[in-house]
Amino acid sequence: MKKVLIAFGSIIIVLLAAAFIVPVIFKDDIKASIDKTLAESANADVVWDTEDFGISLFKNFPNATATLNNFGIINKAPFEGQILFAVQHFEVEVDIFSLLGDQIKIKGIQLDNPEIFIKVLQDGTANYDIAVADESAPADVEADTSATEFNIGIDHWQITNGHLVYDDQSIPFKMELKNLQHSGSGDFTQDIFDLTTKTSADSVTVVFDGTEYVSGKSVEIDAILAISDEYGKYTFKENNVKVNDFTMSFDGYLALLEDGSMDMNINYGTRENTFKSLLSLVPGIYTADFKDIETEGTLAFSGSVKGKYDSLTMPAFGVALKVNDAMFKYPDLPTAIKNINMDLLVDNQDGVIENTIVNLKQFHMDFGQNPIDAKLLVKNLRDYDMDAEMKGKLNLGELNSMFPMEGMSMKGNFNIDLKASGIYDSVRQIIPAIDVTMSMKNGYIKTSEFPYALENLSFDSRITDPSGKMSDFKAVVKDFNMIMDGEPFSANLVLENLDNYKWDLSAKGGIDLEKMTKVFPIEGMNLAGKINADIKTAGTMSDLEAEKYQNLPTSGTVTVNNFKYTDAELPYDVTIATATATFDPRQMTLSNYKGTVGKSDMAMSGSISNYIGYMFGENQTLKGTMNFNSNLLDLNEFMTEEEETAAPTVGEEESYGVVQVPENIDFILKSEIKKALIMDMEITNATGNIIVKDGIANLNNLSFNLLEGTFVVNGSYNARDIDKPAYNFNMDIKELSIQKSFKTFELVRNFAPIAEKVNGKVSTNFKVNGLLDQEMMPNLVTTNGGGLLQVAQATVDNSKIVNGIMSLASLDKVDQVKIKDVLMSVKIEDGKLKVEPFDVSLGGYKTTIGGATALDGSISYNLKMDVPAGKLGTQFNSLISSYTGGGNTGSTIPLTIGLGGTYDNPQPKLLMGEQKQQAKDAAKEKAKEEAKDVAADLLKDVKDEKAKEVIGDILGGDKNDTTKTESTDLQKKVEEEAKDKIKDLFKKKKKGGN
Question: Whole-angstrom Cα distance, residue 316 to residue 351?
Answer: 4
Amino acid at the residue 752: A
Cβ-defined contacts of 850-854 (< 8 Å, 24+): 851/899, 853/751, 853/752, 853/753, 853/903
> Among residues 317, 336, 320, which one has the least CA distance to residue 328?
336
**pLDDT for the residue numbered 170:** 85
Query: How far is CA 388 from its chain centroid?
Result: 46
Distance CA 871, CA 889 (A): 8
263 within 8 A of 257, measured Cβ to Cβ? yes
The DSSP output letter for 811 is: P
**Torsion angle of the four alpha carbons 540, 541, 543, 545, in this order, in degrees rounded to the nearest 10:** 170
Q: What is the pLDDT of residue 583?
A: 85
> Nearest Cα to 579, choosing from 564, 567, 568, 598?
564
Q: Is 552 helix (H, G, I), strand (E, B) or coil?
A: coil
The amino acid present at 905, given as its one-letter code, is: N
Task: Calculate Rg over the CA atoms of the chain.
Answer: 47
**In the chain, how many H helices and how many E strands?**
14, 45
Q: What's the predicted TM-score (pTM) here?
A: 0.57
Instruction: List the one residue out of 762, 756, 820 whose CA is nearest residue 789.
Output: 762
Helix axes 912-939, 874-884, angle to 10 degrees: 60
Are the C-beta atoms of 866 and 894 separated by less than 8 Å?
yes
Q: Give backbone dihedrals phi and psi of 766, rounded to 5 degrees, phi first.
A: -125, 135
**How many Cα atoms sit within 13 Å of 994 on the Cβ side?**
0
CB count, 10 Å around CB of 834?
18
Secondary structure (3-state) at 95: strand
Question: How many whole angstroms separate alpha carbon 727 and alpha carbon 187?
Answer: 73
Region for 830 from its dihedrals, namely left if φ exceeds 0, alpha if ψ lies in -120 to 50, beta otherwise? left
Nearest CA to 910 out of 900, 925, 924 is that of 900
Q: How many CB atoms lie within 10 A of CB 517?
A: 15
Alpha-carbon distances, residue 118 vs 77, 125, 168, 254, 617 (angstroms)? 15, 11, 8, 23, 43
Q: Which residues contact 549 (CB under 8 A, 6 or more apart)?
A: 543, 585, 586, 612
Contact 24, 57 (CB under 8 A): no
Is residue 857 a contact partner of residue 902, using CB atoms and an 8 Å limit? yes
- Say how far apart CA 605 and CA 958 lie, in whole Å: 81
Query: What are the angstrom distances between the C-alpha of 98 and each of 92, 149, 906?
Result: 14, 13, 75
Contact 831, 841 (CB under 8 A): no
pLDDT score at 993: 46
| pLDDT score, position 877 | 59
In Å, what is the CA distance from 961 to each residue of 942, 966, 976? 19, 10, 20
Q: Which residues contact 723 (CB under 8 A, 6 or more apart)?
A: none
Give dist(CA 236, CA 252) in Å, integer.
6
Distance (Å, whole) CA 388 – CA 360: 9
Count how many residues are written for the chain.
Answer: 994
Rounded to whole angstroms, the Cα distance separating 54 from 60 reads 14
Which positions ≥6 away from 944 have C-beta within 8 Å? 974
Is the link from the previous residue into 894 a cis peptide, with omega within 30 of 0? Answer: no
Q: Is 68 exposed, middle or buried (0-12, 13-18, 19+ CB in 10 A)?
A: middle
Residue 878: per-residue pLDDT: 60
Residues 277, 246: contact at Cβ < 8 Å? yes
Q: Which sign, positive or negative, has the C-alpha torsion 749, 750, 751, 756?
A: positive
Alpha-carbon distance of 827 to 265, in angstroms, equals 81
Pairing label, strands 433-447, 408-422 = antiparallel
Looking at residue 815, its amino acid is: D
**Residue 477 and residue 492 in contact, taking contact as beta carbons nearer than 8 Å:** yes
Residues 236, 266 contacting (CB under 8 angstroms):
yes
Rounded to the nearest 10°, the torsion over CA 756, 759, 762, 766 is 0
Predicted local confidence at residue 648, as pLDDT: 42
Q: How far is CA 213 from CA 122, 362, 457, in A?
A: 21, 22, 34
**Which 8-state DSSP code applies to residue 204?**
E
With b for 16 or more beta-carbon neighbours within 10 A and e for fewer, the 593-621 pattern comes to: bebbbbebbbebbbbbbbbbbbeeeeebb
What angle separates helix 945-954 from helix 968-992, to the nearest 10 degrees?
A: 70
For the chain, which ranges sit under pLDDT 70?
A: 1-31, 33-34, 37-38, 58, 97-104, 133-153, 284, 519, 616-617, 639-657, 809-810, 812, 869-891, 912-994
Which of 791, 838, 835, 794 has the alpha carbon at shortest distance from 816? 794
The greatest distance separating any two alpha carbons of the chain, rounded to the nearest whole angstrom, comes to 156
Cβ neighbours of residue 418 under 8 Å, at least 6 residues apart?
388, 389, 390, 391, 434, 435, 436
First-last CA distance in the chain: 129
Using CA atoms, how far residue 968 sits from 129, 452, 946, 965, 973, in Å, is 112, 128, 11, 6, 9
